[in-house]
Chain A
Amino acid sequence: MSFVEYGDTIQEGDTAIVFLGHESMFPVKVQHGSKTQTKTQILYSTDISLITMMLELKPGSIVCESGTGSGSLSHAIIRTVAPTGHLYTVEFHQQRAEKAMEEFREHKVEHLVTVKNQDVCKNGFGVSNMADAVFLDIPSPWEAIGHAKSALKVEGGRFCSFSPCIEQVQRTCLALEEHGFTEINTLEILLRVYNVRTISLQIPDLGKAAEDNSNPGFDSSNQANQGVMCGSQQQGTAQFKSGVPLREMVGHTGYLTFATKSLS
């Protein structure tokens, strides 16, 4: 199974996604005799979408990334730059780097990615004047700005740094400015999900007016209110469809700082 191509049938060795119901999906290795393993996955899909578009990634793009981490962004990048682009990803943790390489091989995308086990702040990405885009998700991104600049093409490219804390963002923006980056822009994106529910609200009993219907309140026999009432099985309820927000939502993932390296 390849990450960059659709298949039609499930094959031995594939990683398939099992759907059990709302909010319950997990990956499963298709293998004779193996137990299902559940893996937690860090998913910043909302952030990944914005990053992909703001870095102007497309087939053929050359991208540098650090740190590789769980590889979730790495896979998204690979999927987008295939079949002619390439991802250079740098991870300073040896085991994580090895695990990433293994996964890329398993997913048959190793030809689209190069993993380097080094410290990007000290040694950079291992390429110069090659990248269309650079992405940083490290504790001290301001220390890697210089390397980012040299990794990017001479005629320019796009840059992005993801940081949870505003202090990191401040330092990063300052460093970007000092290195001559333009279009420096920080934003955050959050996902709001709605559950579609059919809601029934009870109509309160306000009693009946003695003689006439001078009460201008909600009259259940009123023509105009028929529409709201239709479909209710019980007397005195109004039913409607609603997009109900979840009780809790993700309030913060990280600040995304974008910039452009312009012509030197």
Chain B
Amino acid sequence: MEGSMGLGARIQEGDCAVLKRDEVFKAVPILKRRKVIFEKQWFYLDNAIGHIYGTTFEVTSGGSLQPKKEIEEPTTETKEAGTDNRNIVDDGKSQKLTHDDIKALKEKGIKGQEIVQQLIENSTTFRDKTEFAQDKYIKKKKKKYEAVITIVKPSTRILSTMYYAREPGKINHLRYDTLAQMLTLGNIRAGNKMIVMETCAGLVLGAVMERMGGYGSIIQMYPQGGPVRAATSCFGFPASFFNSLYEFPLSKVDSLLSRTFSIETLPSESEDNIPAEEESNGSLDEKPASIQETEEESTTEATMEGNQTEEQETMDLAAEDTENKESKEKGNKENIREKQRKQQERRKKLVEAAALLKEKNADGLIVAGRFHPTPLLLSLLEFVAPSRPFVVYCQYREPLLECYTKLREKGGVINLKLSETWLRNYQVLPDRSHPKLTMSGGGGYLLSGITVVMDKGKSDAGRLEAQKTEEPTSKKRKLEELHS
């Protein structure tokens, strides 16, 4: 269980798994009798349950999955090949099988491999193509007609690649290599006390949690609406990981810093502040009015009576359990109790989170979101110990320029670095190696640095850094002027 690829972990119902076909990923919950669509195919996942993660399946007619046997090498008996394409005319008529013919083959249940073979045999130009062109042709047809899917266990690598390809808007266009840089620059590792502020669907949080392996603690700062952890739940972390995960509202940061924070001044806990994944709790059927009132009443009760109420509640819950199977009225009451209990827990955790923050000794800060980074950094850095790294991601460069400037004015940080990474994929084949045709135009920017102890007034380190960076180089153009 310790962080290996799963010790041969098996696909289980309820897991969040990732479907993979070539370079395309999609995260799905493993549920029985639930039709799934992926890469233009419909199928059920039932047959996948029990197999080891990493198994490759074929989609058979009827939509069921069958484990694929060893890939038999394609029969390229056609040793016949041309030397170049000077005589090959692309008139769209070289394939003799019609659209309907192919459809008929598919309906007969002919395997993809066989269809590809048919296409080759019915192509008038195939044997004139060069070997490379034939290779390319076969690969292309295979991709289209061979329905092979692998089910893999989620990881930062897989989920970050998937999100960037499918839903980059949800993660502020954070490219996976940029995320990789953040994790290393931030020295994310087991035992840290991390502060994370992200609006990337919980992907960044999940990545941090994966690298911490359940050791240490994380305080997730969240904006109005509560912390979103859709991606986090995809990772499939054990429940214990969440014991050391806290959340704290940004709207209370100021009060915490000015020491005016108190549990009493918390906003009334409406549905808003429930971490997004909890909302699918079926028992939240009965809606607002009456429950809201009861909530508020019992909330004030709870804070006044403290422990007593908790005990009372657990006793009540136990008592209620036995009568549980009875009438709906009792059911309603239990809903309310359950809500109260959950609320108690949340408040407890919130107080703990506040206490953790107040210690001002976090081992690092990660910011990645849609908000302007400057105000976030200026306040959240207060909670970080000296001599610790911090990393801020922004989709755009300009806000980080401002952030950099403000941080330098404030002092207390060194080694500020504004960077981005450039990523390029290659096609590697004998005699055909070259970078791939398209590449990502941009993956966002990072501002990183290290905190230091603040001197009174402007720190010496800050001044030193100011001097060094603002010194004109020998080749400076006369037109440029620097202001410190």
Contacts from A to B (Cβ < 8 Å): 4-6, 8, 19-25, 45-46, 48-50, 52-54, 56, 58-62, 76, 79-85, 132, 153-158, 166, 169-170, 173-174, 184-202, 233, 237, 239, 241-243, 255, 257, 260, 262-263
Given contacts A53-B156, A188-B423, 8 further A-B contacts (CB under 8 A): A21-B464, A58-B211, A79-B187, A155-B5, A185-B425, A192-B422, A241-B402, A262-B150
- Specify the chain A residue showing the minimal Cβ separation from B179: A53
A200/B5 contact (C-beta < 8 A), A80-B189, A173-B428, A263-B55 known:
no
**Residues in B whose Cβ lies below 8 Å from that of A237:** 481
B1-36 Cβ-contact flags toward A at 8 Å (1 or 0): 011111110000000000000000000000000000
Q: Does B191 contact A (CB under 8 A)?
A: yes
Q: How far is the CA of A199 from the CA of B424 in the complex (A)?
A: 32
Q: Does B137 contact A (CB under 8 A)?
A: no
Q: Are A262 and B54 in contact (CB under 8 A)?
A: yes
**Residues in B whose Cβ lies below 8 Å from that of A45:** 184-185
**Residues in B whose Cβ lies below 8 Å from that of A241:** 398, 401-402, 405
Report A43 CB to chain B, min CB distance, Å: 11
Q: How far is the CA of A140 from the CA of B468 in the complex (A)?
A: 43
The stretch among B39-47, B104-112, B411-419 that forms the contact with chain A is B411-419
Q: How far is the CA of A202 from the CA of B477 in the complex (A)?
A: 12
Q: Are A49 and B184 in contact (CB under 8 A)?
A: yes
Q: How far is the CA of A50 from the CA of B428 in the complex (A)?
A: 19
Report B245 CB to chain A, min CB distance, Å: 16
A56/B157 contact (C-beta < 8 A), A21-B468, A241-B405, A263-B55 known:
yes
Q: Does B467 contact A (CB under 8 A)?
A: yes
A198/B5 contact (C-beta < 8 A), A79-B187, A156-B54, A193-B418 known:
no
Q: How far is the CA of A212 from the CA of B363 in the complex (A)?
A: 64
Q: How far is the CA of A58 from the CA of B424 in the complex (A)?
A: 25
**Residues in A whose Cβ lies below 8 Å from that of B210:** 58
**Residues in B whose Cβ lies below 8 Å from that of A8:** 385
Interface residue tally on B, bucketed by range: 35 or more
Q: Are B401 and A242 in contact (CB under 8 A)?
A: yes
Partner of A190, one of B2, B180, B421, B429: B421
**Residues in B whose Cβ lies below 8 Å from that of A22:** 465, 468-469
A156/B213 contact (C-beta < 8 A), A52-B180, A243-B397 known:
no
Partner of A58, one of B7, B213, B400, B450: B213
B449-466 Cβ-contact flags toward A at 8 Å (1 or 0): 010100000000100110
Q: Are A132 and B191 in contact (CB under 8 A)?
A: no
3 shortest A-B CB distances, which residue pairs? Answer: A60-B3, A59-B213, A60-B2
A196/B183 contact (C-beta < 8 A), A82-B189, A82-B190 known:
no
Q: Are B426 and A59 in contact (CB under 8 A)?
A: no
Q: Are A169 and B55 in contact (CB under 8 A)?
A: no
**Residues in A whose Cβ lies below 8 Å from that of B207:** 53
Report B204 CB to chain A, min CB distance, Å: 12
Report A18 CB to chain B, min CB distance, Å: 11
A196/B3 contact (C-beta < 8 A), A5-B191, A79-B187, A170-B430 known:
no
Partner of B397, one of A20, A184, A194: A194
Report B244 CB to chain A, min CB distance, Å: 13
Report B260 CB to chain A, min CB distance, Å: 28
Contacts from B to A (Cβ < 8 Å): 2-8, 52-56, 150, 155-157, 160, 176-177, 179-181, 183-185, 187, 189-192, 207, 210-215, 363, 385, 388, 397-398, 400-402, 404-405, 414-426, 428-430, 433, 450, 452, 461, 464-465, 467-469, 479-483
- Which secondary structure characterizes the binding site on chain B? mixed
Partner of A196, one of B405, B424, B426: B405
**Residues in A whose Cβ lies below 8 Å from that of B418:** 193-196, 243
**Residues in A whose Cβ lies below 8 Å from that of B184:** 45, 48-49, 52, 76
Report B476 CB to chain A, min CB distance, Å: 10
**Residues in B whose Cβ lies below 8 Å from that of A185:** 425
**Residues in A whose Cβ lies below 8 Å from that of B430:** 170, 174
Q: Are B189 and A193 in contact (CB under 8 A)?
A: no
Q: How far is the CA of A57 from the CA of B254 in the complex (A)?
A: 37
A49/B181 contact (C-beta < 8 A), A80-B189, A156-B5 known:
yes
Q: Are B424 and A59 in contact (CB under 8 A)?
A: no
Q: How far is the CA of A52 from the CA of B430 in the complex (A)?
A: 28
Q: Are A53 and B183 in contact (CB under 8 A)?
A: yes
Q: Can you list 17 contacts pairing A with B, beta carbon distance less than 8 Å?
A: A5-B191, A6-B385, A21-B464, A59-B215, A61-B4, A76-B184, A80-B211, A83-B190, A83-B191, A154-B8, A155-B6, A156-B5, A173-B428, A189-B422, A191-B419, A192-B420, A237-B481
Q: Are A243 and B401 in contact (CB under 8 A)?
A: yes
Report B212 CB to chain A, min CB distance, Å: 7
A187/B423 contact (C-beta < 8 A), A58-B3, A60-B213 known:
yes
Report A51 CB to chain B, min CB distance, Å: 9
Q: How far is the CA of A6 from the CA of B426 in the complex (A)?
A: 39
**Residues in A whose Cβ lies below 8 Å from that of B461:** 19
**Residues in B whose Cβ lies below 8 Å from that of A257:** 428
- Specify the chain B residue showing the minimal Cβ separation from A58: B3
Q: How far is the CA of A154 from the CA of B52 in the complex (A)?
A: 11
Q: Are B415 and A25 in contact (CB under 8 A)?
A: yes
Q: How far is the CA of A48 from the CA of B187 in the complex (A)?
A: 12
Q: How far is the CA of A59 from the CA of B7 in the complex (A)?
A: 15
Report A246 CB to chain B, min CB distance, Å: 10
Q: How far is the CA of A248 from the CA of B3 in the complex (A)?
A: 40
**Residues in B whose Cβ lies below 8 Å from that of A193:** 417-419
Report A262 CB to chain B, min CB distance, Å: 5
Report B267 CB to chain A, min CB distance, Å: 34
Q: How far is the CA of A189 from the CA of B461 in the complex (A)?
A: 31
**Residues in B whose Cβ lies below 8 Å from that of A186:** 425-426, 428
Q: How far is the CA of A169 from the CA of B2 in the complex (A)?
A: 32
Q: Are B177 and A50 in contact (CB under 8 A)?
A: yes
Q: Are A84 and B423 in contact (CB under 8 A)?
A: no
